[in-house]
């Protein structure tokens, strides 16, 4: 999937914010493509790039049940000229603004003062128009089983995630791995259009820090669709 926001690319497509959020999975980003000098033959770079692009959409459909409409890449103009991209009919809509996302959970960016050239390539005719069109282009194909498995064969999500091996080092662990996996699954469902309720625990105005013996915590459920609080209750420590 392509980067969340790229000004030159988004202007070239001409899509709205909502279209970008729902259709970003139809763009594939190539991170690195370099042909070393030793053993180089004429037109090898553009040939390999072209062969890869011809099968990219079909491979994505086979693995993830949705195609790729546009491929994109970024190039450092101080080091490379992008000849192989231009020879393969890639379009350069403009440079980035020179920001890089910081590592970590929060979406914070640092200005690197090194803008990259953006290259894009439509993998089918009119791909950009499809991405900005009113009708959703080629939605994901989801195949459902005829009948759900018997209840006795099912396990709870919590018990299943508990069996996932935790590869983290013991130092610095604060929550079980299944906690993070549950959050990731909820985010994935929300992205696909399922709007589950979110559960979150909080101190009430840091009241727990004012009580030496007993912590006072509250947990609340909020519906994403309406933004309403469905309910809240006090829980033990």
What is the DSSP pairing of strand 117-122 with strand 27-30?
A: unpaired
Residue 29: the pLDDT is 85
pLDDT band at 19 (very low <50, low <70, confident <90, very high): confident
165: tokens are: 């091996």
Average pLDDT over residues 88-108: 74
Beta bridge partners of 229: 222
CA 176 – CA 181 distance, rounded (Å): 9
Whether residue 128 has pLDDT greater than 60: yes
| Strand, coil or helix: 129 | helix
Total length of the chain: 237
208: tokens are: 């727990």
pTM, rounded to two decimals: 0.52
Residue 216: the pLDDT is 67
Beta bridge partners of 199: 221
Average pLDDT over residues 87-95: 85
Q: pLDDT tens digits for 40-87? A: 777 788 788 888 888 888 888 888 888 888 989 888 888 888 888 888
127: tokens are: 């791909």
22: tokens are: 């729902």
pLDDT band at 94 (very low <50, low <70, confident <90, very high): confident
Residue 142: the pLDDT is 39
Residues 202, 207, 208, 210: what is their CA dihedral angle, to the nearest 10 degrees? 160
Query: Are residues 138 and 69 in contact, defined by beta-carbon separation less than 8 angstroms?
Result: yes
Average pLDDT over residues 12-29: 86
The tokens 């309403």 sit on which residue? 228
The highest-confidence range among 4-8, 86-90, 121-125, by mean pLDDT, is 121-125
The residue that leads in pLDDT, 181 or 193, is: 181
130: tokens are: 């499809």
pLDDT band at 140 (very low <50, low <70, confident <90, very high): very low
Q: pLDDT tens digits for 184-212? A: 887 777 666 665 567 777 766 555 455 55
The residue that leads in pLDDT, 151 or 56, is: 56
Contacts for 136 with CB less than 8 Å, ≥ 6 apart: 22, 23
Residue 211: the pLDDT is 56
Residue 141: the pLDDT is 41
Residue 108: the pLDDT is 66
Whether residue 100 has pLDDT greater than 60: yes
Average pLDDT over residues 94-106: 70
Please state which of the ranges 87-91, 106-110, 197-201 shows the lowest mean pLDDT. Answer: 106-110
What is the DSSP pairing of strand 229-235 with strand 27-30?
A: unpaired
Residues 110, 112, 114, 117: what is their CA dihedral angle, to the nearest 10 degrees? -20
* C-alpha count within 13 angstroms, C-beta hemisphere, residue 63: 7
């Amino acid at each position: 999937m392509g980067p969340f926001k790229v000004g030159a690319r988004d202007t070239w497509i001409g899509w709205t914010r909502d279209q970008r959020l729902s259709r970003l999975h139809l763009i594939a980003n190539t991170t690195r493509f370099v042909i070393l000098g030793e053993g180089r033959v004429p037109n090898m770079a553009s040939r390999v790039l072209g062969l890869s692009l011809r099968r990219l959409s079909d491979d994505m459909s086979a693995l993830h049940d949705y195609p790729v409409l546009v491929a994109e890449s970024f190039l450092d103009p101080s080091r490379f000229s992008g000849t192989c991209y231009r020879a393969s009919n890639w379009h350069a809509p403009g440079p980035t603004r020179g920001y890089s996302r910081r590592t970590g959970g929060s979406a914070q960016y640092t200005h690197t003062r090194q803008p990259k050239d953006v290259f894009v390539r439509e993998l089918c005719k009119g791909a950009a128009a499809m991405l900005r069109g009113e009708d959703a282009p080629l939605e994901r194909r989801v195949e459902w089983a005829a009948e759900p498995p018997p209840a006795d064969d099912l396990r709870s999500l919590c018990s299943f995630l508990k069996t996932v091996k935790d590869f983290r080092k013991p130092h610095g662990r604060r929550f079980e791995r299944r906690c993070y996996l549950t959050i990731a699954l909820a985010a994935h469902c929300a992205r696909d259009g399922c709007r589950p309720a979110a559960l979150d625990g909080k101190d009430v105005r840091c009241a727990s820090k004012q009580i030496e013996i007993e912590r006072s915590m509250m947990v609340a459920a909020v519906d994403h669709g309406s933004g309403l609080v469905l309910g809240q209750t006090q829980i033990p420590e």
